Chain A
Amino acid sequence: MHRQSMRWRAVAALPLLLATTVGAAAQGLKSYDSSKPSFWAHPPPDWFLGDETEGQKGLAPPSGPATPTPVDELQTDLKKIKLPPGFRIEVWASGIPEARQMAWGANGTLFVGSFGATNVYAVTESGGKREVKTIIKGLNMPTGVAFRDGSLYVIAINKLLRYDNAEANLDNLPEPVVVYDDMPPYIAHGWKYLVSDKNGWFYIPFGPPFNIGIPPTSVSQVRHVDPKTGLAEIVALGVRNSVGGDIDPRTGDYWFTENARDWISDDLPSDKLNHITRLGEHFGYPYCHQGDLPDPKFALGHKCSEFTPPVVKLGAHVAPLGMKFYTGSMFPPAYKDNIFIAEHGSWNRHQYQGGRIERVIVDPDGKNARQEVFASGWITGQRDYFGRPDDILQAPDGSLLVSDDWAGAIYRISYAK
Chain B
Amino acid sequence: MKTFLSVMAAVVLLPVAHAGAASGDIEAGRARAKICAGCHGANGISASPGIPSLAGQRDQFLQWQLVFFRSGRRPNLLMGPIITQLSDADIRNLGAYYASLPANTAPAGAKPDEAARAKGQQIVADHHCANCHTDSLRGERAAASIADQREDYLIKALTDYRSGARPSVGVAAMTEAASGLNDEEIVAIAKYVATFQPAEK
Contacts and interface: CB of A to CB of B under 8 A. Distances in A.
Q: Which of A49, A63, A73 has the most chain B CB atoms inside 10 A of its CB?
A: A63
Interface in B145-201: 167, 169-173, 175-177, 179-180
Interface in A179-195: 187-188
The number of chain A residues touching the other chain, given as a range, is 35 or more
A137 interface: yes
A63 B60 contact: yes
Contact of A116 (B13, B22, B143, B169): B169
B176 A48 contact: yes
A179 to B, nearest CB: 25
B63 interface: yes
A115 B92 CA distance: 21
B131 A58 contact: yes
A2 B38 CA distance: 55
A414 interface: no
A250 to B, nearest CB: 36
Interface in B4-48: 5, 9, 13, 18, 20-22
A70 B21 contact: yes
Interface string A7-47: 00000000000000000000000000000001001111110
A380 interface: yes
B91 A65 contact: no
A67 B141 CA distance: 14
A60 B132 contact: yes
Contacts of B67: 66-67, 97
Given A45-B173, A45-B177, A117-B71, 18 more contacts: A44-B176, A44-B180, A45-B128, A45-B176, A49-B131, A52-B131, A60-B131, A63-B60, A63-B143, A63-B169, A73-B22, A76-B9, A97-B67, A116-B169, A137-B72, A187-B171, A188-B172, A381-B5
10 contacts: A41-B179, A42-B176, A43-B176, A61-B170, A66-B66, A66-B67, A67-B63, A67-B91, A69-B21, A70-B21
